[in-house]
Amino acid sequence: MFAIEHSWVLLLLPLMLLPFISSVQSDLNYSSLALLPTDRLSQVFEVLLKLLAAIFITAIILGISGLHRPAKAVERIGRGAQTVILFDSSTSMDTPYSGNSKGGAASRVANWGTYESKGQVARNLLGKFVEQRQQDLFAIFAFSRNPIPIMPLNNNQEVIQAAIKAGTYERGLGTTNLGAGLIKALTFFEDKPFKGSRIIMLVSDGAAKLVRPVKEEITNLLKRHRVTLYWLYLRDKESLGFNAKIDKELAKDIAPEQAVNQYFSELDTPYRAFSADDPQALKDAIAEVNKLQKLPIRYEETIPKQDLSNYCYALALALLFLLTVAKLSEIRSWH
């Protein structure tokens, strides 16, 4: 409930006994003590003043020691979605993005770092998306040869943005295991209570092949965990995209994303692709998530540490004021 920042300061606490040992009241010269009547009221008053002084000392020491309520997590209910962002971290995401007009992209073998890659474009776009979804919870996963869990659901914008940005400093990793990545992200919802609309936001160029058992598992998991699948699709400079009309057999080899898109479209669970080519894509994606927000969402929020030293100082100030008034009204002389 309460906690102390600098517990060693509490070693000063015995000082509160000082008022009972010593006195600040001035002595009066009087001819004989025996002549004075015992005054119950003033005796009570004296004890009271000592007590107030002791509380004053205690309050001020507690203030200095940094009395506070520690941070704690509380459950809140809002309107938002639970989104797992799933980044494709394969090397194919390093190639220049089709919608890019900067010079580097034009050269055939561009030097990484001299142009904006698909991965970088995607992460910038995602950063903006997350920024506009303050109430949503985001988890972050990535995949290359294996799935890479990065952070669980949270709504700390700073760390989510830090994870999105982290992938823009270096090249991608290697092979693309889209299936394993999706399965890992989907099983993340396992055993978690359904607390709001669930979304997997796949960020990929789709240069991957899914075999039948993997497809079946993905289909089942999407259904079981009631997940909506969004695909933020990044088109390669040379890639044909979803809609180019080519022979199906040929597409298997030169446009694997068509097969992946086809598979997703045939799912019973909700699916939508957003092409990053389209300047509307970001707005579309946000509008789409807005529509899903009909369900109230439960989420954990961390209430930051609450400083209580102010209250300590306020109490001390009030007491000191009283003590000073008492001191001022003290009788200094009978004459």
Among 165, 195, 215, 225, which residue interacts with another protein (rule: CB under 8 A)? Answer: 165
Residue 59 CB-half CA count within 13 A = 17
- And the tokens for 154? 């949270």
Binding mask 66-105 for another protein (x = CB under 8 A): x----x-x---------------x----------------
Closest C-alpha among 35, 37, 53 to residue 45: 53
Q: Three-class SS of residue 70?
A: coil
324 near another protein, judged by CB under 8 A: yes
User: What gap in Å lies between CA 327 and CA 30, rounded to an integer?
Assistant: 20
Among 3, 51, 150, 267, which residue interacts with another protein (rule: CB under 8 A)? Answer: 150
User: What gap in Å lies between CA 144 and CA 152, rounded to an integer?
Assistant: 19
Binding segment toward another protein, per CB under 8 A, in 40-48, 127-135, 165-173, 232-240: 165-173
Among 96, 119, 147, 256, which residue interacts with another protein (rule: CB under 8 A)? Answer: 147
**Strand bridging mode 81-88 / 197-204:** parallel
Q: Please, what is the minimum distance in Å from the beta carbon of residue 53 to another protein?
A: 8
Closest C-alpha among 234, 228, 22, 24 to residue 136: 228
159 near another protein, judged by CB under 8 A: yes
User: What gap in Å lies between CA 252 and CA 255, rounded to an integer?
Assistant: 6
Q: Please, what is the minimum distance in Å from the beta carbon of residue 180 to another protein?
A: 9
Among 3, 51, 64, 251, which residue interacts with another protein (rule: CB under 8 A)? Answer: 64
220 near another protein, judged by CB under 8 A: no
Binding segment toward another protein, per CB under 8 A, in 37-45, 126-134, 157-165, 251-259: 157-165
- Region for 206 from its dihedrals, namely left if φ exceeds 0, alpha if ψ lies in -120 to 50, beta otherwise: left
What is the Cα 23 distance to its own chain's centre? 54
10 near another protein, judged by CB under 8 A: no
Closest C-alpha among 210, 202, 213 to residue 256: 210
Q: Give the type of residue at 299.
A: Y
247 near another protein, judged by CB under 8 A: no
Nearer to another protein by Cβ, of 43 and 302: the residue is 302
Q: Please, what is the minimum distance in Å from the beta carbon of residue 89 to another protein?
A: 7
User: What gap in Å lies between CA 322 and CA 328, rounded to an integer?
Assistant: 10
Contact 274, 289 (CB under 8 A): no
Among 4, 13, 24, 246, which residue interacts with another protein (rule: CB under 8 A)? Answer: 24
- 């949503």: which residue's tokens? 136
Considering only residues 172-211, where is the footprint of another protein by CB under 8 A? 173-175
The torsion angle over the Cα atoms of residues 284, 289, 293 and 299, rounded to 10 degrees, is -150
Binding segment toward another protein, per CB under 8 A, in 55-63, 75-83, 126-134, 212-220: 55-63
51 near another protein, judged by CB under 8 A: no
Binding segment toward another protein, per CB under 8 A, in 15-23, 125-133, 193-201, 290-298: 15-23
320 near another protein, judged by CB under 8 A: yes
One-character DSSP codes across 211-271: -HHHHHHHHHHHHHTTEEEEEEE--BSS---SS----HHHHHHH-HHHHHHHHHHT-SS-E
- 């060693």: which residue's tokens? 8
Residues that bind another protein (CB under 8 A): 15, 18-19, 21-24, 27, 53, 56-57, 60-61, 63-64, 66, 71, 73, 89, 144-152, 154, 156, 158-159, 162-163, 165-167, 169-170, 173-175, 302, 304, 309-310, 313-314, 316-317, 320-321, 323-324, 327-328, 332-333
